[in-house]
Amino acid sequence: GEDVEQSLFLSVREGDSSVINCTYTDSSSTYLYWYKQEPGAGLQLLTYIFSNMDMKQDQRLTVLLNKKDKHLSLRIADTQTGDSAIYFCAESIGNTDKLIFGTGTRLQVFP
Amino acid sequence: DTEVTQTPKHLVMGMTNKKSLKCEQHMGHRAMYWYKQKAKKPPELMFVYSYEKLSINESVPSRFSPECPNSSLLNLHLHALQPEDSALYLCASSQALGSRAPYEQYFGPGTRLTVT
């Protein structure tokens, strides 16, 4: 199947790091993505990683990719209340532009 | 301008109505997408247009009819919908199709559709 799994909910204190995990299915995915969705809004691309990379850092965001285990994670350093949202990982299917989104993780940041 | 606009923001329609959702972008993107997102679920791809031609149809029922009249506009015509079609309909655009680069998909805010 094409299920991309994420844990449903994560709660962190402001200033701490958040780690959101994702398990994907298609080993031929060229790129893997992290999107953010705030309430009532569309999706915003946060970052992506090419499938032959292990890690990518982009300011407060660090993406780790374990291709053997098909595991992707997003670490947000110094998490702020404005980071509260739903985070979706997504994989591109083979060499297509079709994105399969994960089940989504709701991140709640408390002061 | 990196904005994708969608109208209307909210739509309530009966099962016998015909309505249309509209999406517009002025970024010069040549690929445009329709997604359906049910509550507390991830977006699911419905259609992809590339250079104004339908490229992907994810086996969507014919009561949903997409149209791309020009490179900036994407419509979704709705007819004889069912209550289970109630969802957030998201439009997105990207520079092009092709896996050589991760062409970022820019999403609109969506149209929240309720079918009564």
Q: Closest partner residue to A99 among B4, B45, B110, by Cβ?
A: B45
* All residues at 6 or more sequence positions from B18 whose CB lies less than 8 Å from its CB, including other chains: B77, B78, B79
pLDDT digits (tens, 9 = 90+) for A20-54: 999 988 777 778 999 999 988 889 999 999 888 99
Q: Kindly tell me if the per-residue pLDDT of A60 is higher than 90.
A: yes
Rounded-to-integer distance, Cα B21 and Cα B91, Å: 10
- For B:72-101, CB contacts with A below 8 A are 90, 92, 94, 97-99
Q: Kindly tell me if the per-residue pLDDT of B107 is higher than 80.
A: yes
pLDDT of residue A79: 98
pLDDT of residue A94: 63
Rounded-to-integer distance, Cα B84 and Cα B86, Å: 5
pLDDT of residue B1: 63
Work out the mean pLDDT of chain A and round it to a whole number. Answer: 91
How far out from the chain centre does Cα A17 lie? 14
The DSSP letter of residue B105 is: P
Q: Closest partner residue to A42 among B56, B102, B110, by Cβ?
A: B110
Judged by average pLDDT, the poorest of A53-57, A97-101, B7-11 is A97-101
Q: Closest partner residue to B42 among A40, A97, A103, by Cβ?
A: A103
Work out the mean pLDDT of chain B and round it to a whole number. Answer: 92
Mean pLDDT, residues B106-110 taken together:
93
CA-angle at B59, arms to A25 and A71, nearest 5°: 10
Mean pLDDT, residues B29-58 taken together:
93
Rounded-to-integer distance, Cα B22 and Cα B30, Å: 16
The shortest C-alpha distance from A17 to chain B (Å) reads 24
In the numeric block, the tokens 């016998």 are attached to: B16
pLDDT of residue B95: 86
Chain A residue numbers with beta carbons less than 8 Å from the beta carbon of B45 are 98-99
